[in-house]
Structure 1
């Protein structure tokens, strides 16, 4: 009843059991663990203390021996030290690494790109559900041809779209004040190697079919990673594609490969619920990023280019028509 006297809640047997912080011993202060008295604790408590880096001699027991609750109380309130240090291994010695060779050239190129080029980045979400289904069907009938990743299909879409956006397939000589819009697509493929980032080039990408592109991507990546890529294979790109594969993240803001004026970065494909009409379906979605040189490329042009690429990727039959 609402007007009944309020009673103090009773402590349940579970909360009052011996290893509870609420338990109080019936008589006298408990012995303390110290230099003159043995440390009484179960093997499990000792093992946990070792794992946490706690000296049990510093832990005050609430009873005749140290329990897990006593260890918790020490860690939370009594130690002033918190849990174990963040580093689980011994720290490494400091070392100095000279930035030379390929790594120095990469550093200089990236610094020059950011110093000279006013970057802007545009990101769009693309539904690649149908494209992934088409890719699976192509791979099921590939025979002895290389397995298709997303990249060859994306390159086809890029090459089909670029003729309407020539300002993106270009190089800008800012000292001479001249922009060269290239007819052929010499596509750079940013490739991570032990020596650093390299950009081997797919020559005349617009003239290759999806299987030829897959073969050339593999060949150039192997050549770059083995150190066998020639200087001709590592120069002359007109547009660069950069991909982190399964590490692709949600979105990227890639740095332009100067003197080019644009770089395209596909991100990781993830499956999420999506509305299609009034239905909720599982869709495979991928964000596509593009960074452009704002001195040469307008935001409207970059966005329009990505939307045109999006249309092809979301309707993959268009990639193979004509």
Structure 2
């Protein structure tokens, strides 16, 4: 009972946080423009591609739900009396719900539509990686997380929930991708490239490389998809958001003490070459944990097909 009360108090304190409220109020204009753009762009896409070209009327009708949600959010922000205060108070919850619904709707349109992006792979591993990022909704999650700029706990929760839902549907997306003729060759090349990219700190990478050629295309696709979803769609935007938040905080501090910051910048430009090399070494050293985390994620992703039932 005490834990429940403590959690409830923490929840109320987070809702009533002045810094969070100010951040949400500052994002109203950008959010309204983003929701309107999403509604109009998706409506045009459904009209041109799904209705006029593919003639899948029921699929287009189901996809219109996302347009209605985006338009409703924009209308909510436009209502200054009660809609805007409600949106400011519950912005993170509304945004996470919309992001998850957008993912589900995008996957539905991908699986039920008549087209298949993987058909246009052109034997290119890079192009296939881009198509996998789109089909797994990683691109939309990445762009939305950087554009929405939710508060730190909500951003982490949104990225984690998006990654879990994408992982849950990765097998269906892979079946859809493997339906494209000739996709096995660029998929194997993409799997090998990612394996070699993360072979530095691992002792069994080259031994695994000798046996990975015998893996099935579905195993390659699941492993590559899992790494793209978690590393590119989860870890990378989270780190970028943290960096942007720190830069914003330092920018505000610099605005308060602009003259002192200018002097420090001048002193930094006059630093000896040895100190500049030391700063470069520090930056490279800071990127090492990110690479190691990516290696761990790849090892887990490459083991995922062996853990899943056949």
- Max radius of gyration: which structure? 1
* TM-score, L = length of structure 1: 0.20
Q: TM-score, normalised by structure 2?
A: 0.21
| Higher normalized helix content (fraction of residues) | 2
Higher strand residue share: 1
